[in-house]
Structure 1
Amino acid sequence: MNEIVIKKYPEGLTVLLNPDIPFETLYTALGRKFRESAGFFGNARLAVSFKGRELDPEEERLLVDAISDNSELTVLNILGDDDDDVNQFYIKAGSRFPGAGDGNMLSSFYKGTVKAGEHIESDTDLIILGDINPGGEVISAGNITVLGTVYGTAKAGSKGDRNKFVIALELRPVRISIADESATQFVRRGIFRAKSTPKIVYIKDGELTADEMNPETVEELKLGFAGKSDVKED
């Protein structure tokens, strides 16, 4: 078995780890692999999933450092075994979202971080391939998916549709709104976790709610993630 096997998909990587070699050997091999492939991966921002062996948080951190130190990649999030279905949801982020409001609405992409003073607006579902910084604002008549952290402002359902949602890897917003409902606090500040849990903000029982993004939430909201026959492949 190889020391390291890397599988790339849109906006993410799965790294298969040999379970039978010392961690130090694995760490060195991972750094070498990404150093040799730096030109191929470029400066993408993506989520990473480690498979094949159990890792403690410190080992996860060291492997992320090995990737960052030997390439121009930015690791947005670490996805674990329980995140497979969520992972697939993000892989299909540019696909249709049947059952979530207007099932015929296609997604628009914005690649990069939305910086302070920038205003991004769309009439379609909007995928942000980066963060929304404080002072940055993203508004969509559809849903908003952020493959990064919301520090600034995000508003979905801007034309009044209360069935829309905002999904992000991390929520630390100035403000998040769905239609006419707004909130500013969803998470405890000052807590760092190497492995975060994606969140979804939506209106539940008439109130703005933030839940962990998991297959059960996807099913409850009928988001139509990967595996449904009417999901359009990239």
Structure 2
Amino acid sequence: MSKIFFKGDLKEGIKIVLDPSLNWDDIRSLIIAEIEEKSSFLKGSSIYVDFQGKEIKEEDWQEFRKEIYDKYGIMLSKELFKLKISNSNTAKIVLGPIRSGKLLNVKDSLLIIGDVNSGSEIICNRNVFVLGKVRGSIWAGYENNDKATIFALELEPEKIQIAGYILDLSKLKKKNNEFGYWVYVEDGEIKISKYSGGKRDG
């Protein structure tokens, strides 16, 4: 049985599952080897690392995360970002990054595993979930669907819109949350709140 393997599905995105009997040096080496082998596929993505209950020193983990992000452009996380997409709500999965100049137009909900780069544009009739950083533009609920939601791990967008509502980007400066953002319409106003275990926490 392999000591490390990749999995992926609609609700959890890409994740690495580790054998908890491994020591930290082996974990580092195996993750790096897998990332290097799959670097063209994984670049710009976010990956959940499942340690199967194994305790890791926070200092070692943060140092490793920075090393992987700086070298490969990949964000590792020990937090599982469950998106709670209902079975009746089909979604298109796109492996990012979405590069500058790209226009992506989708009728169903959209899950992007990776970054949305500056100069790119996403137009979606329903919900948009980004397991990465948004630097480009996203328009969810395109056909006047103000029930649509946008989720992203990081937001530095050029424009965010849901139905006919445009987010005031100055509101982002008031939020300092490394675990992600929800953007949604409530009481006739577009709002932004931090990620809290899959729920909106305003």
**TM-score range with shorter-chain normalisation?**
0.7 to 0.9
Pair 1:153–1:47, CA change in 2 (3 A): same
| 1:200 corresponds to | 182
Using the TM superposition, give the Cα deviation of residue 161 of structure 1 relative to its aligned residue in structure 2, in angstroms. 0.7
Using the TM superposition, give the Cα deviation of residue 132 of structure 1 relative to its aligned residue in structure 2, in angstroms. 1.3
Greater strand content:
2
| 1:78 corresponds to | 77
| 2:11 corresponds to | none
After TM superposition, the structure 1 = structure 2 runs for residues 146-225 of structure 1, keeping only pairs within 5 Å, are: 146-183=130-167, 184-188=169-173, 196-215=178-197, 217=199
**Contact 2:105–2:124 (Cα < 8 Å) also in 1:** yes
Which of 99, 122, 133 matches 1:138?
A: 122
| 2:46 corresponds to | 46
Bigger Rg, which one: 1
TM score, norm. by length of structure 1: 0.66
The CA distance in 2 between the partners of 1:38 and 1:113, in whole Å, is 16
Pair 1:60–1:210, CA change in 2 (3 A): same
2:6 counterpart SS class: strand
Pair 1:175–1:37, CA change in 2 (3 A): closer
**Contact 1:173–1:185 (Cα < 8 Å) also in 2:** no
After TM superposition, the structure 1 = structure 2 runs for residues 91-106 of structure 1, keeping only pairs within 5 Å, are: 97-98=85-86, 104-106=88-90
Using the TM superposition, give the Cα deviation of residue 42 of structure 1 relative to its aligned residue in structure 2, in angstroms. 4.6
The CA distance in 1 between the partners of 2:5 and 2:165, in whole Å, is 40
The CA distance in 2 between the partners of 1:65 and 1:32, in whole Å, is 15
Which string of whole-angstrom CA distances, capped at 9 and with x for unpartnered residues, describes residues 159-215 of structure 1? 0010001111111111111100001234339x7x8xx21211101222111112223
1:60 counterpart SS class: helix
Pair 1:63–1:175, CA change in 2 (3 A): same
Cα RMSD (Å): 3.3
The CA distance in 1 between the partners of 2:137 and 2:69, in whole Å, is 28
TM score, norm. by length of structure 2: 0.75
* Amino acid aligned to 2:173: R
Is 1:32–2:17 an aligned residue pair? no
Which string of whole-angstrom CA distances, capped at 9 and with x for unpartnered residues, describes residues 71-103 of structure 1? x864324234xxx4x3x43xx7xxxx33xxxx7
May I ask how many residue pairs the two structures share in their alignment?
188
Which structure ranks higher in relative contact order (CA pairs < 8 Å, sequence separation ≥ 6)? 1
Percent identity at matched positions? 19
Is 1:64–2:49 an aligned residue pair? no
Is 1:113–2:105 an aligned residue pair? no
**Contact 2:46–2:77 (Cα < 8 Å) also in 1:** no
**Contact 1:131–1:149 (Cα < 8 Å) also in 2:** yes
The CA distance in 2 between the partners of 1:160 and 1:175, in whole Å, is 17
